Amino acid sequence: MQTVTISSNTSWYLYNFRASTIERLLREGYRVVCLSPQDDYSQKLIDQLQCEWLPLVMDNHGSNPFRDAGLVFQFWRHYRSLKPAVALHFTIKNNVYGTWAARTLGIPAINNVSGLGTAFIRSGPVSAIVRLLYRSSQPLAYHVFCQNEEDFAQLADSKLVPRERLELLPGSGVDLVRFNPVVRRARSGNFRFLYAGRMLADKGLNELVAATREINADSVKCQLWLCGFGDVENVSAISEQQLEQWGQEPGIDWLGPNDAMEEVYADVDCVVLPSYREGMPRSLLVGAAMGLTLVATDVPGCRTIVKDGVNGLLCEAGNSESLRMAMKKMLELPQTRRSRMGETARELVAAQFGEQRVIEANMHAIESAIQGKSSG
C-alpha cells in the first residue's frame, strides 16, 4: 500500500476543504496520513474520515524563517519515517518547508497555492521574505496548483514557479449535491447576510461590522451572521473576546464553527466576503451553489466568481463605506432580481467549479508523480 501525506496549517482546513480528496484516495487504496497542527478537527480526521493524523508544531503568527527552521526538520522526520510516494502541501509554510524536506528525500511534492495572500500586495520585508521562500522552494516541487488567473500570472511572470509546472484549478471546488438551492428554507424577517470563514482582519471583518452598524444605525434592517473558525494562531486573527462583543450588538450574531454548513447557508439571503485578497474563496462558491446572491470585494479570487450586477455586487477592499453601499443596495433589490442573480450564480458554479474536477486533477498529478518516480 502506497502512502500519500497531506499537510496544512490547520486540521480544520483539511477536514472542511479536502475531505473529498482524502476519501477518494482511501477508496483508491492509498494510505493517507494528514500532517497539521492539533486543533478541534484533528480527531475528526481520524474518526470521521478514517485516515491517519500526525501533529506539526507550527507558528502561524509570524514569517520568521529562522524561527520556522524547525518545521523543515519536522517534515523531514515524518517523511523519512512514513516514506510517502507523494506529499501534498496546502498553505504557504507547508508549501515551502514541506517541499524542502521532501526534496532531500526524493519525494515528489504537489503544492496547492490557495491564494498568494496579503504579503503579495504589500511592500516591505515580510513580502520580500515570502517571495524569496517561494522562489527557493517551488521550483523543487513536482507540480503546483493555483486557484485564479491573476495568481497564475504572478507566479509565472515573476518566475516564482516554472510555468510548465503550474496548473490552474477552481479552488477546492464545491459539492453541488450537498450545496443545492433545494435545501434552502423560506425566510421572513430582516434580510440576513452571512460571512463564513476564518475570523481574520485580512478577510475584511472590521469593515464588515462597521458597514453593518451603519446600515442598522436607525433601526435593525439586516442581520449579519459570523460563522467559522477562530484562527487564533494567525497574526490577523480577531480575538474571541472581540467576536463575543460583536455578537452582543444589534443585528450581529457570532455563531462559531459549524460542520453542517449547508444548514447555515439554507437560512440566509446573501453571502458577503470583504476580503483583501483570495485564492478561490470557498464561501462564495458554496453561496453560489446554494443559489444565493453575493457581495464581495473587487480583488483576485472574488471577482472570478462574482460578476458585478449579474450574480452579485462588488465593492472596494478595505473601504467600509463602499461595502455598506453594496450591502444596502443588495437588501433593497426586488426579490425577483435577487432570485435571478442567485440562479445565475448557481449556473456559473455548476459549469466551472464542481468538486469532481479538482479531485480528478489532484489524482492525476499524484498518479503521474508516482509513475515518474517509478520510471526514474
So what's the pLDDT on residue 64? 66
Q: How many CB atoms lie within 10 A of CB 6?
A: 27
Stretch 142-147: mean pLDDT? 93
pLDDT of 232 strictly over 70: no
Q: How many CB atoms lie within 10 A of CB 181?
A: 16
Q: Edge-to-edge strand order for the sheet containing 52-55?
A: 52-55, 31-36, 3-7, 86-90, 109-113, 143-146, 166-168
pLDDT of 344 strictly over 80: yes
So what's the pLDDT on residue 122? 59
pLDDT of 184 strictly over 90: no
Alpha carbon distances (Å) from 375 to 5, 84, 368, 369, 372: 21, 17, 10, 10, 5
User: Can you tell me the distance from the alpha carbon of 156 to that of 166, in angstroms, rounded to the nearest whole number?
Assistant: 8
The backbone region for 318, taken as left when phi is positive above 0, alpha when psi lies in -120 to 50, beta otherwise, is: left
Confidence of residue 229 (pLDDT cuts 50, 70, 90): confident
Strands 191-196 and 166-168: unpaired
Closest CA relative to residue 301, chosen from 203, 179, 193, 170: 170
Percent of the chain whose pLDDT exceeds 90: 73
SS3 236: coil
Alpha carbon distances (Å) from 89 to 27, 241, 273: 20, 32, 25
pLDDT of 273 strictly over 80: yes
User: Can you tell me the distance from the alpha carbon of 345 to that of 285, in angstroms, rounded to the nearest whole number?
Assistant: 9
pLDDT of 121 strictly over 60: no
User: Can you tell me the distance from the alpha carbon of 309 to that of 341, in angstroms, rounded to the nearest whole number?
Assistant: 8
Note whether 97 and 59 are within 8 A (CB).
no
Q: How many CB atoms lie within 10 A of CB 5?
A: 26
Strands 86-90 and 222-227: unpaired
First vs last Cα of the chain: how many Å apart?
20
User: Can you tell me the distance from the alpha carbon of 365 to that of 360, in angstroms, rounded to the nearest whole number?
Assistant: 9
So what's the pLDDT on residue 376? 56
Q: How many CB atoms lie within 10 A of CB 122?
A: 12
Sign of CA dihedral 286, 289, 292, 296: positive
Q: DSSP of 295-355, one letter per residue? A: EEESSTTHHHH--BTTTEEEE-TT-HHHHHHHHHHHHHS-HHHHHHHHHHHHHHHHHH-BH
Note whether 110 and 369 are within 8 A (CB).
yes
Closest CA relative to residue 94, chosen from 159, 21, 34, 31: 34
Q: Edge-to-edge strand order for the sheet containing 252-256?
A: 252-256, 222-227, 191-196, 270-273, 293-297, 312-315
Confidence of residue 47 (pLDDT cuts 50, 70, 90): very high
Stretch 11-26: mean pLDDT? 95
Name residue, grid cell 524569496.
132
> Rounded to 5 degrees, what are φ and ψ at 359?
-60, -45
Map out the domains of the chain with their CATH numbers.
3-173+354-375 (3.40.50.2000), 181-352 (3.40.50.2000)
Stretch 48-55: mean pLDDT? 98
The model's pLDDT over 286-330, given as tens digits with 9 standing for 90+, comes to 999 999 999 999 998 899 999 999 999 999 999 999 999 999 999
Q: DSSP of 265-297, one letter per residue? A: HTT-SEEEE--S--SS-HHHHHHHHTT-EEEEE
Alpha carbon distances (Å) from 171 to 18, 32, 298, 301, 307: 11, 21, 18, 9, 17
Query: Which amino acid appears at position 123 of this protein?
Result: S
